[in-house]
Structure 1
Amino acid sequence: MTNNFKKLIALQYALHGVLFFIIIFFNLPAHSAQLIDKVPIELKNNWQTCLHFESQQAICNAKQLPEKNRHLPENVTHQTYTKEFIPNSNLKGIPLGIWLPNIDDVDKIYINKELIGKTGQFSPTFESGFRLKRLYLIPNELIHFNQFNQIEIHTFSSRNLPGIQTSAPIIGNYLTQQSALQGQNYSYLIVASILLLLTIFPVFYFIVVKGNQETVYFMLFLFAFSLVSIARSHTPIDLGLDLSSAFKMESFMLVFGMLSISLFLFSFFDLELRRIYTAGLYFLGISGLILIVWPYAIYLRELAEINYFLLLTITFFVNGSALIIAIHKQRKYALTISITCIGGWILLLYDAIMQANGLFEMDLIIRPRMMPLASAIVGVVFTLTLTHKYWHFFKGSTYDHLTGTLLRPAFFQRLSEEMDRCRRSDDSLMIAVVEIQQAKKISMNYGYSIGNHLLTTVSQSLTKVLRPYDLICRFSDEQFCIAATINNRQDAEQCIQRIYEELINIEQPINSEVELYVDARIGSVIYNEEQHLSVSHIIQDANYALSKAKSQSRQSYLLIQNFTMPV
């Protein structure tokens, strides 16, 4: 009797279980329920999607998520996604959460008709949550285990696109997903920190190298893209900031950063910023300011998309022209910076298409971290390039950053050492002051970039004629001073003649119709240890020889050996 009773009880439980599963499976088509017995699990199938309108009945269809990229009717007020699921009781000990990797633009999510979270604001007080990843905790008290539960997602897109179009919602362990989300958020903050730390280098270079504008532009680029990285993180929403204002700041800083990098390229390669380039950059700056003051948040994303492609077009021509000219003129670092800029521009293009995928109806995976990471790589490469350019200052030497020649204090120190060496040996020393007659006029008439390029060419010609251990100094705006070891007077005269002939053969093209030639005057003196008691004595004699060479019409260079006048 007892055994029969136990069998009846076991049969009763088995019948209950079978009945439970029959009810579930026979009701699946009607309720679109999905059994969840493990996490994470993707909720792809059996969604009921509805388009809601202001003055007509909602249109609903059964769909699989994610939806295809397509434009919705203009009068859609919002979209809803509804699905039923049955969580197994073995999930009771796990904190469940719903993970929405990409929503376009704002959302609210309900579990069993109870709101569990939202990002952004629906109209009329619209705030875009575009590109922000969503993770919402599902409170245990709202979940009916081993029963039907309903999830309902409300979305609205300012670009009239489906709310869920790149990946389906996922139910998983909330703590695990939160850790992954925090890791992604930290990556934005790490990039921003790297960019801000890199600003130390251009600030230092600006202090050390007087009148150096390229470091200011580079510093502004780093600062701007650090703010872009912060704006793309969850920091604005964690701080309770207005999301539309954060999006405005991000878009404006993107424009500001690209303007800065354009000015950096022209300054770094010492190129003339022509009027057509200036007009393009001004136009781009105005478009960025319009974004900041734009009052209608609902149209902000569309305006930002237009502005993004305007930015890409203008920087393509302006920056591309600067890089082509730099390569053509064989400017140092031109190839390295060109490759870096091309790679960065391509990633910007991908970011723009990714942001404006509604324009092209492309199903691109949203990767908002790509552009901040690219800006960090560009920042590191440019910082290393600047460091290599100014490495002399780290070593304590003082060189002219334009021509690479010694500045006056370092030259005087080295010249004094050379004079001491000549006193102890049989070597002779020649000092010459070289003046480029029209350097200032060229800078005033044709622009400082042309004048600076002329001075750079002159320093290269002097380096070519002289030996590696001879000294070259940027003496003033249009003067160079050299100190060369010689054997006798004839050797000195030949050296001066070679320098003069090398300089007058320099051709300075201005445009297709104008080409300038160097008009140089050289005054030189041979060191005499009895008469030249100090550096100032021998420099004065060289200047005296220069003045004599400038006053005579027969010869453009002069070498004197006798003492002229005391200091």
Structure 2
Amino acid sequence: MFKNIVLWTILLFSQFLLAEESPKSVLPLHLEQGWKFCPVQNYQPNVDVDVLDCQPITLPAGWESVYPGYDGYALIYTQFTLPKSVEKEPLGIYISKIRDADKTYINNQLIGETGEFPPEFDKAVLYSRLYAIPKETLKFGQENTIHFWIYNDARPGGLTQSVPVIDTHHQLLDNFYTNNYRALAFILVLAIFGLLHFVYYLFNRLSSENLYYSLFLFVWSVYLYTYSDLAIASDLPMSLLFRTNVALFFAIFSLLPLFIFKFFQQPLPLFLKLLIGLSAALIPICFLLPEDRLLYYPLEVIEVLTLPALIPIYWLLIKVVKAKMAYARLMTLVLVLYTTLGSVDIFLDFVQSEALNRVFLYGPWALLVLSFVLTLIVAHKNLVYYRDATWDRLTATLRFNEFSDRLEQELLRADRANKPMVIIMIDLDNFKYINDHYGHMQGDKVLQLVSQSLRGQLRHFDLLGRYGGDEFCVAATLEHEQEIKGFVNRLHKNINQQTFKKKGQIEHIEATFGATIRKANETISAKSLIEKADTLLIKAKASDKGTVMW
């Protein structure tokens, strides 16, 4: 018994020791302790740090936390130890953004660099770093020193978002790609929404809100691309990407109010016109300024003006909600969400708060919601436009133009079936009397009653349209002329049997028909058939009201 206890104790202890030495127990290694910041006059990779004026610094933080107002070169370093248990693992180091350009050394060996130091300064402020660590640079079981040589020309410099992390290279790659896949997903979804709204605009050139919103989404897509690590693979100069990023911010600032005011068909206030003009004018200036750091001045001006720019936008939203305009409440909800989160992004960029650091923007999340909602709204508006252009709302019958277009197709179908077709023009007798004596609302009810009566006698593929006023038109393909005559007489009789009660009196509805038969494969257009039936209707109204004239 005692022997078994001893054996189990040894076994458990050995597993504990193995667990202590496993790579999973020591990785990832977050380099949080022992950091020092050293301002230097120029880049000196072999400098002895003991001769530098170095001060302790707690990361993540801009180096202004220990040296206020400092711009230029700096060396940030610390020491770390890796156990021999990870010696066989391919390792790497990840840093979530360094401001601005860097050269990273471990044990005095360069393992990676992003951007360029002066005189050919290439500003790499927007991007993360992922460097593989060659095995020969590391001392396992001993102290290693990591040096970040950094050049920053404006705003907080250094490692401002997170501490460096050492982990297996494949794990860091997985995390790196996951972040970039998310950015790519945002970019693609926004671009697809943008393309969809541009197509809407092409089909309806009067809907300029669709044009502005499609441009807004396209600009956002490119903005996210320049902001994400995906842009590094483009091999474009990072300073150019930075300038493009700022220019796109100005474009986003300009397009949003244009879209909102166009959506609600309201004129832009003068104040917003001036702000949009200023922001648009700054776009080319982004590429003309001699130094990258100068871009922060116009950028901060626009960031400061964001709040006053929101005032007329929110005032508009209050007005349209009070006026109960179509889609006002829903649009207001998502626009407030977007402008709030977008303002948070702008605020965090303006104050450069170390306590509120984040890896990704908040605005795109609300932008996805806005895009989804707006796409549904536009789809609904297009459905309403189509329905109004196709159907008469009062009687639920085809509008005359749609009736004519469909009649052309129905003629072809009748020819293929080798069957005759009848076209009927219908006019309600004494309809003016009904409107004058019982009111137009009662007249509308009579029109609805007649259309329901006609639909009840027609097949689903027969055509029923409203010619205008109190006139209707019908087209139907039947087997032969005798069946057609019975069909027309049945429609006529059915309408004449309709009554309504008003002011204690029962009134009868009567109608006059003009009907013409088109034989199979007869050469005559839809327009000519309608004109022929209409001529017969006019003759019947003049000489024999309340009958069917052939």
Q: TM-score range by the shorter chain?
A: 0.5 to 0.7
Match of 2:377 in 1: 385
| Displacement after TM superposition at 1:377 (Å) | 2.6
The 2-side partners of 1:274 and 1:152 are apart by 54
Kindly indicate whether the alpha-carbon contact (under 8 Å) linking 2:282 and 2:298 is maintained by their aligned counterparts in 1. no
1:106-505 equivalences in 2 (<5 Å): 106-310=101-305, 312-313=306-307, 315-358=309-352, 361-392=353-384, 398=390, 409-410=401-402, 466-467=444-445, 469=448, 482-483=469-470
| Displacement after TM superposition at 1:348 (Å) | 0.9
The 1-side partners of 2:205 and 2:532 are apart by 29
| Displacement after TM superposition at 1:74 (Å) | 4.1
Kindly indicate whether the alpha-carbon contact (under 8 Å) linking 1:121 and 1:127 is maintained by their aligned counterparts in 2. yes
Match of 1:45 in 2: 33
Distance 1:67 1:204, change over 3 A: closer
Q: Give the SS at the match of 2:154.
A: coil
So what's the TM-score if we normalise by structure 2?
0.67
Q: Give the SS at the match of 1:191.
A: helix
Q: Quick one: which amino acid aligns to residue 529 of structure 1?
A: F
1:64-143 equivalences in 2 (<5 Å): 64-67=58-61, 70=64, 72-74=67-69, 76-143=71-138
The 1-side partners of 2:381 and 2:430 are apart by 31
Q: Quick one: which amino acid aligns to residue 382 of structure 2?
A: Y
So what's the TM-score if we normalise by structure 1?
0.65
Distance 1:91 1:99, change over 3 A: same
Kindly indicate whether the alpha-carbon contact (under 8 Å) linking 2:425 and 2:534 is maintained by their aligned counterparts in 1. no
Kindly indicate whether the alpha-carbon contact (under 8 Å) linking 2:37 and 2:76 is maintained by their aligned counterparts in 1. yes
Q: Quick one: which amino acid aligns to residue 133 of structure 2?
A: I
The 1-side partners of 2:108 and 2:314 are apart by 55
Distance 1:241 1:538, change over 3 A: same
Residues 14-49 of structure 1 deviation map (CA, whole Å, 9 limit, x = unaligned):
xxxxxxxxxxxxxxxxxxxxx998211111112222
Q: Give the SS at the match of 1:172.
A: strand
| Displacement after TM superposition at 1:279 (Å) | 2.9
Kindly indicate whether the alpha-carbon contact (under 8 Å) linking 2:209 and 2:263 is maintained by their aligned counterparts in 1. yes
| Displacement after TM superposition at 1:166 (Å) | 3.5
Kindly indicate whether the alpha-carbon contact (under 8 Å) linking 1:429 and 1:484 is maintained by their aligned counterparts in 2. no
The 2-side partners of 1:49 and 1:276 are apart by 46
Q: Quick one: which amino acid aligns to residue 333 of structure 2?
A: I
Distance 1:96 1:85, change over 3 A: same
Q: Give the SS at the match of 1:287.
A: helix
The 2-side partners of 1:394 and 1:87 are apart by 69
Residues 117-170 of structure 1 deviation map (CA, whole Å, 9 limit, x = unaligned):
122223333332224221111111111222332111122333342412332222
| Displacement after TM superposition at 1:466 (Å) | 4.0
Distance 1:74 1:186, change over 3 A: same
- Identity across matched positions, percent: 22
After superposing on structure 2, the runs of 4+ consecutive aligned residues of structure 1 that deviate more than 3 Å are 67-76, 273-277, 392-401, 404-408, 411-417, 419-423, 426-431, 462-471, 480-488, 530-540
The 2-side partners of 1:85 and 1:317 are apart by 52
Distance 1:192 1:400, change over 3 A: farther
The 1-side partners of 2:246 and 2:398 are apart by 44
| Displacement after TM superposition at 1:241 (Å) | 1.1
Distance 1:247 1:407, change over 3 A: farther
| Displacement after TM superposition at 1:318 (Å) | 4.2
The 1-side partners of 2:448 and 2:111 are apart by 77
1:23-38 equivalences in 2 (<5 Å): 38=26
| Displacement after TM superposition at 1:261 (Å) | 3.1
Distance 1:529 1:273, change over 3 A: farther
Q: Quick one: which amino acid aligns to residue 338 of structure 1?
A: T
Distance 1:160 1:261, change over 3 A: closer
Q: Quick one: which amino acid aligns to residue 229 of structure 1?
A: L
Residues 361-412 of structure 1 deviation map (CA, whole Å, 9 limit, x = unaligned):
55212232433333233222211111111125778964799xx998661376
Runs of 5+ unmatched residues, structure 2: 1-22, 43-50, 411-421, 433-439, 452-466, 473-494, 504-509, 517-527, 536-540, 544-550
| Displacement after TM superposition at 1:534 (Å) | 7.3
Q: Quick one: which amino acid aligns to residue 230 of structure 1?
A: Y
Distance 1:395 1:138, change over 3 A: farther
Match of 2:513 in 1: 529
The 2-side partners of 1:463 and 1:383 are apart by 36
The 2-side partners of 1:164 and 1:287 are apart by 30
Kindly indicate whether the alpha-carbon contact (under 8 Å) linking 1:217 and 1:260 is maintained by their aligned counterparts in 2. yes
The 1-side partners of 2:389 and 2:106 are apart by 70
Q: Give the SS at the match of 2:307.
A: helix
The 2-side partners of 1:258 and 1:399 are apart by 41
The 1-side partners of 2:77 and 2:337 are apart by 43
Of 43, 48, 62, which aligns to 2:56?
Answer: 62
Kindly indicate whether the alpha-carbon contact (under 8 Å) linking 1:36 and 1:88 is maintained by their aligned counterparts in 2. no
| Displacement after TM superposition at 1:245 (Å) | 1.5
The 1-side partners of 2:241 and 2:442 are apart by 55
Kindly indicate whether the alpha-carbon contact (under 8 Å) linking 1:66 and 1:167 is maintained by their aligned counterparts in 2. yes
Distance 1:184 1:302, change over 3 A: farther
Q: Quick one: which amino acid aligns to residue 59 of structure 2?
A: L
The 2-side partners of 1:103 and 1:428 are apart by 84
The 2-side partners of 1:118 and 1:334 are apart by 51
